[in-house]
Amino acid sequence: MERMTRAEPLIELDGVSKWFGAFQVLRGVNLRVAEGERIVICGPSGSGKSTLIRCINRLEEHQEGRVVFAGRELGADTTDLAQVRREIGMVFQEFNLFPHLTVLENCMLGPTRVLGMTPADARGRAMEFLDRVRIPEQAGKHPGQLSGGQQQRAAIARSLCMRPRVMLFDEPTSALDPVMIKEVLDVMNDLAQSGMTMIVVTHEMGFARTVADRVAYMDEGSIIECLPPDRFFANPADDRTKRFLSQILSH
Amino acid sequence: MDGPVARSHEASEVRRNVRWWNAGWFDVLQFTVFVAALLGLLVSGAVGMGYNWQWYRVPEYLVQIVEGELLWGPLARGLLVTLELTGWSVLITLAIGLAAALLRLSDSWSGRILAKAYLEAVRGTPLLIQIYLFYFVLGPILGLDRFWVGVVALSVFEGAFAGEAIRAGILSVRRGQWEAGASLGLTRFDLYRSVILPQAVPLMLPPLTGIVISLIRNSAIVSVIAVFDLTTEARNIIAETFLSFEIWITVAAIYLTFTVALSVVANRLEQHVRA
């Protein structure tokens, strides 16, 4: 199963569909993401962006099609789900830090419990990543004592401590004010420079323009188009994309 | 933060001055009058039926000093049994409650049905009948003596309610916490141990304390299977001495002492956890 050729994508979504009751959120979505690639997904709310990336680590279960991560198909019979999830970092809109633990302990939990690292090693790794997201001085505090931007960066550090092969971002800046948005986007920029594979659901078009290899536009459960940013912003093919861009860029 | 709190204090001071019937001393007076009336009624009733109060005989059933040696009376020995019974029951109740809650929340269909059936069975039958079932049916089969029949019966009964309290605490932890833990690749066990329970336990403490208090109270029912707990000892003393008023009042006061003390501890604990 470990057979991985260069041509094989790290993540492959093949005709993925999902319903919430009678409402179809995803309509046969296809997406291939290569190792090291950075994808930004945008689109109106309710278009299925979040659901789509949550299918990649199976926080949401798809009902049709295939979700394949690093050659392993995720389905109802996936027994090593925890094994797959440790390789997929996830950053949430609401940060979801563990409020009863300090920032440092938040970052150490996965490495000690899941990767079996010693507390000393896990601490070293946690401080390394807290340094990278520029909040090493917050390590001993509890999440409630941090600003939103600091919390989100702590959450990014927590995910990075697992040394994941891909990072998923689910509207990471939507709950933040402009100053904090910049702090978080700077960290994400650095991360992109380091070669991390990233899938980012966001409305930050500046970020998409400078960081993304491809920008995907989603509407009503489908990816309408998925293009490199220069072409995506200059001449999108679909009218819905044009309309969305004119709305979002006019602000 | 100081301003509004201080202001509201001032406001309530003002209100207290204006409405004299809201004042603290009036509360105390009301309470005193009420208790006095109740006691008066009791005493006059007892006098009316010609009851011969013999409070001086009560202490010997608690503790006696014979030739300089301290001897525990039957009530003290009964209290010890009651506390022992309650102590074991608390442990087993929590274990059963946790298991029932986790089963209810599990992905296993049969586990959920089992936990639900247990809850309904316990809630739908009288505790007295459950005690008899354990004593006459399960006790002999499992080879349990009376004390342990009492412990198990009480634990099975209260475990159902503890399960609901634990489940409610677990469910009140935000969904994002589960998702964040799962995304790190934590196993279900580690997720519960390191993420969910540490946040849920403080929320469970108040209802669980209520369950411990109810365990102390309900432990009296083991007297029907002749476990020598506080209540059984009281009944035996009364059968010999006819001191029914004095002994029952004393026994009620003993139970009350423990339950009230526990309530106070629980309140402190709750405030400590919230802070």
pLDDT at B65: 84
Chains A and B form CB pairs within 8 A to the count of 63
Residues contacting A43, CB < 8 A, separation 6+: A49, A217, A218, A219, A224, A244
B3 shares contact with chain A (CB less than 8 Å): no
Query: pLDDT tens across A77-109, in order?
Result: 888 888 999 999 999 999 999 999 999 999 999
3-class DSSP assignment, residue A72: strand
pLDDT at B26: 81
Which residues in chain B touch residue A97, judged by CB atoms under 8 angstroms apart?
Answer: 180
Q: Whole-angstrom Cα distance, residue A37 to residue A232? A: 16
pLDDT at A2: 43
Position A6 confidence tier, pLDDT thresholds 50, 70, 90? low
pLDDT at B23: 66
Domain spans of chain B? 2-51, 72-274
Query: pLDDT tens across A18-39, in order?
Result: 999 999 999 999 999 999 999 9
B273 shares contact with chain A (CB less than 8 Å): no
Query: pLDDT tens across B238-252, in order?
Result: 999 988 888 999 999
Neighbours of B205 (CB within 10 A): 17
Q: Whole-angstrom Cα distance, residue A52 to residue A173? A: 18
Q: Which residues does residue A33 pair with via DSSP β-bridges, in sequence order?
A: A11
Residue B10 pLDDT > 70, yes or no?
no
- Tell if the CB–CB gap between B186 and A158 is shorter than 8 Å: no
Residues contacting B69, CB < 8 A, separation 6+: none
| pTM confidence score | 0.80
Structure tokens at B113: 């049905």
Q: Which residues does residue A69 pair with via DSSP β-bridges, in sequence order?
A: A11, A72
Residue B202 pLDDT > 70, yes or no?
yes
- Tell if the CB–CB gap between B184 and A162 is shorter than 8 Å: yes
- Tell if the CB–CB gap between A110 and B186 is shorter than 8 Å: yes
pLDDT at B63: 87
A123 to chain B, closest Cα gap in Å: 16
Interface residue of A96, A106, A108, A162 to substitute, partner B, most B CBs within 10 Å: A96
For chain A, list residues whose CB is within 8 angstroms of any CB belonging to chain B: 57, 59, 82-90, 92, 94, 96-100, 109-110, 113-114, 155, 158-159, 162
Query: pLDDT tens across B17-65, in order?
Result: 556 666 678 888 888 999 999 988 888 888 888 888 888 888 888 888 8
pLDDT at B226: 85
- Tell if the CB–CB gap between B176 and A57 is shorter than 8 Å: no
Higher pLDDT, B121 or B69: B121
Mean pLDDT of the residues in chain A: 93
Higher pLDDT, A51 or B71: A51
- Tell if the CB–CB gap between B181 and A94 is shorter than 8 Å: no
Which residues in chain A touch residue B181, judged by CB atoms under 8 angstroms apart?
Answer: 98
B107 shares contact with chain A (CB less than 8 Å): no
Say what percent of chain B tops pLDDT 70: 91
- Tell if the CB–CB gap between B184 and A110 is shorter than 8 Å: yes
B184 shares contact with chain A (CB less than 8 Å): yes
- Report the pLDDT averaged over residues A198-206: 95
Residue A4 pLDDT > 90, yes or no?
no
- Report the pLDDT averaged over residues B132-156: 92
Instruction: Enter the ipTM.
Output: 0.92
Query: pLDDT tens across A209-243, in order?
Result: 999 999 999 999 999 999 999 999 988 888 889 88
Residue A140 pLDDT > 70, yes or no?
yes
The CATH code of domain B72-274 reads 1.10.3720.10
- Report the pLDDT averaged over residues A48-61: 95
Report the candidate in B80, B114, B110, B109 with the shortest Cα–Cα distance to residue B219. Answer: B80
Indicate the residue of B176, B185, B199 with minimum beta-carbon distance to A86: B185
pLDDT at B6: 46
In terms of C-beta density within 10 A (0-12 exposed, 13-18 middle, 19 or more buried), how is residue B201 classed?
middle
Lowest mean pLDDT segment, chosen from A33-42, A146-155, B12-21: B12-21
- Report the pLDDT averaged over residues A110-139: 96
- Report the pLDDT averaged over residues B89-106: 94
B184 to chain A, closest Cα gap in Å: 5
B186 shares contact with chain A (CB less than 8 Å): yes
